[in-house]
Amino acid sequence: MKMHDIQPKHKPQDRKRIGRGDRKRGTYSGRGIKGQRARSGVSELAFFSGGGPTLAGKGDKIVHKLRGEGNNVPSRNQAKWWRVLNVDDLNRHFEDGARISIEELYQKGLISKTVRHVKILGRGTSEKRFVFENVKVSKSVLEQYSVS
């Protein structure tokens, strides 16, 4: 056997030619009926959408909606305003008899600056007792860990 005797196993298929004359997929050949895109020689970018704002222009509108005081409305961003902490978090960061408030929690790095409401729940154990100010506390935590 020589190199010129080798033949491919399958014959290569011909490329499907469309839009040539009245046959091969019909009169309009996938271009629709009329308009700029139906004509020959159309050169339009793939993401062109009829002369509206560009992608950068749309970006300005999107960014504009995120600016300003209205974005900090609590009804829109509940996750920014509320945090839940547990007794084991307090046990790690605070001493016995410490005052627990939103300012103290922020200074210790347990919450971010946007948080307005904190609730302390009872997961974990602690021998320490705390003074709670301006934070919500579950009933079990209030009974076990609150300084009387």
Mean pLDDT across the chain:
80
pLDDT of 45 > 70? The answer is yes
- Domain CATH for 130: 3.100.10.10
The pLDDT assigned to 2 comes to 92
Q: Can you tell me the distance from the alpha carbon of 56 to that of 64, in angstroms, rounded to the nearest whole number?
A: 12
Tokens 């305003």 sit on residue: 81
Q: What is the pLDDT of residues 89-118, one digit of tens each?
A: 888 888 888 888 899 999 988 888 888 889
Token readout for 64 is 């504009």
Is the model's pLDDT at 69 over the cut of 60?
no
Can you give the residue range of the structural domain that contains 114? 78-145
Cα separation, 90 vs 77, in Å, equals 26
Residue 128 lies in a domain: yes
Q: Is the pLDDT of residue 64 over 60?
A: no
Band of pLDDT at residue 143, cut at 50, 70 and 90: confident
In the block, tokens 């347990």 appear at 110
Distance of CA 62 to the CA centre of its chain: 14
User: Does residue 117 form part of some domain?
Assistant: yes
Is residue 26 in a domain?
no
- Give the model's pLDDT for residue 14: 86
Question: How many Cα atoms are found within 13 Å in the side-chain-facing hemisphere of 18?
Answer: 8
CB 91 within 8 A of CB 124: yes
